[in-house]
Amino acid sequence: MKKILSLAAVLLLCSSRSWAQEPAPAGEQPVYFVYATGQRTDQKLKVLIISTHILRGRNFAFPYQPTTVSMSLDFNEIITRIGQNERHFSTEYDNIHFNPVQVEELYGGYLRWNIQLQYHGDLTSSDNSLSAIEKVRAALIEDHIRKGYRVYQVRFTPLVDGENLSGYRYYDAGTSSYKNLVLDKVSPLSPLWITPYMKGDIKGILAGIGSSLDHRSSGGGIVIEDAGSSRKSSSYSSNSSSKKTSEDPDKWKRQAELNMWQAGNLEAEGDALYQRGTIFYPQALEKYRQAQQLYATSRVQSKINNINGLVGGVKLILDAGESVEKAIETADPQKKTRFVQGFVNYTGLLGSYGNITNPHAQNPMGAFFGFNGHRMFLSFETRIGYIVSPVYEYTVGGLNNTTTSDRVGVQQSSLGLGLSGGLNIPLRDLVIYGMYGFDLMVIPLSNEVLTPGFSLEDDPTFPSFITKWTFGAVYRFPRTRIGLGIQYNLNTIKGEEDRSEPVINNKYPDEHYYLRTTTDEQYKFNNAGVSFIWML
């Protein structure tokens, strides 16, 4: 029993992550940075807000044009919040007004021909897209500093699953399908060069300038010391008289900014490790802890808690298995109630689909290899295998949330794993049991559209978590180590709503259509299965 629980814990943890896509050549990957400028009407204060990282497309060679549009819309959300947070005067004239967001991009290997940027004089033919965009960014910043701009960096993450998600997909000519854009954050700006924006920075400078209607203000000189006043803690302010004699009064402020920048890089490294899968969780956890020690945030702490929770859950399963094993050994030292078996199983017989909107199209099934254990009225089972889902029927919509009368049926096949636990009644060579558990479709193998006239643009994932009640019996042939099992399963899969998965209507291939909502909130169906077993 303990060994089966240990195997279950490993399978459960390993099922939580998937695999990464192969990147395109570094020199051809598209790269972006985003910025916006703003100023007072009287030009007494000008600011440049720029993204901390360069964003690099990982898994394609040339960008899909709407990407820059979606990126500018997402960055504009940040600029709008800054404009609202930094209002100091009641009159619009004296506050900062921001200009439209700009997105600079490079891609491919033809830099001298495809660059239409103002700041590309230092580029050479040996530059790849990343090194070139770094030079463009540096030239842009230096030019704005020379022109009297205050420059701030802000952390920016494109909302690839947000309301502008359509711009973060691209057409792959090799597979004739649309794929999801993957963006990596690279080349962060140093806080020792470009100050990280913090709420109140611009408002503090505006307060130092004063209103254009205030005749007591000077000709527009900016008191630079006021720019960081909002960052000083109360303890710093209360001891300001002693700090005035310091040779470097902003030392601790700059150190805090440096810590924040370093912590952000460690967090990004941790995110990359976490995305690579379960085996890298300990390394990701270490990166998050280092980041938290440098600059504590609730966001990083939640990531630490998440990994600790996963590891703690596995430990809980293992500890429970050990405790149960000890209790059973005490109650049944001669192992008369012990049945530990390997099995191969087919599930999909005698299907009942009356609770599903489209029952006649249904043929879900599963073929599994696994292990189960029955001992002292307790049962546990782990399994891996091939799973075919029920047919999910989706409504179809167009742009701007318009709806159509079409329905599209989709069926997914996957490699998966399952866990179940419950109670049993041992009767010599016969064990009768009831268990509750789940099957998880981990690795999609294919998606089949069963509705004529429609096809998928990509290979999306569909509902993949199946909960199940299983009632069955196992009979071991006397004086042998083999036997047969039968079971009846009550399965449930939760449907989906408000999806935006692209689908091609072959009648109108140039128009945009999306799978929206399954016609069933839950897919409830029953089926039977048979097993061949051998004693372990």
477 pLDDT more than 80 = yes
514 or 119: whose pLDDT is higher? 514
pLDDT of 380-402, one tens digit each? 899 999 999 999 999 998 866 67
Domain boundaries, the chain: 27-59+72-120, 148-159+168-226, 264-331, 332-352+361-535
pLDDT of 67-76, one tens digit each? 788 888 889 9
The length of the chain in residues reads: 536
pLDDT of 182-221, one tens digit each? 888 888 888 888 889 988 889 888 888 887 665 444 444 4
What per-residue confidence (pLDDT) applies to 286? 87
The predicted model gives 520-528 an average pLDDT of 94
504 pLDDT more than 60 = yes
140 or 509: whose pLDDT is higher? 140
Rounded Cα distance, 414 and 501, in Å: 19
pLDDT of 451-465, one tens digit each? 999 988 766 778 888
pTM: 0.47
Q: Are 187 and 50 in contact (CB under 8 A)?
A: no
360 pLDDT more than 80 = yes
What per-residue confidence (pLDDT) applies to 225? 41
332-352+361-535: CATH topology: Porin (2.40.160)
Q: Which two tokens stand for residue 348?
A: 């999909």
β-sheet bridge partners, residue 530:
346, 486
Q: Are 33 and 54 in contact (CB under 8 A)?
A: yes
DSSP string, 446-472: EEEE-STTEEESS------EEEEEEEE
301 or 18: whose pLDDT is higher? 301
Query: In a 10 Å sphere around its CB, with 0-12 CB exposed, 13-18 middle and 19+ buried, how is residue 463 labelled?
Result: middle
Rounded Cα distance, 232 and 253, in Å: 7
Quick one: how far is CA 231 from the chain centroid?
32
The predicted model gives 40-66 an average pLDDT of 79
Q: Which amino acid type is present at position 509?
A: P
pLDDT bin (cut points 50, 70, 90) of residue 371 is very high
Q: Which two tokens stand for residue 101?
A: 């967001």
Question: Please, what is the average pLDDT of the chain?
Answer: 79
Rounded Cα distance, 416 and 423, in Å: 24
pLDDT of 431-454, one tens digit each? 999 999 999 998 888 889 999 999
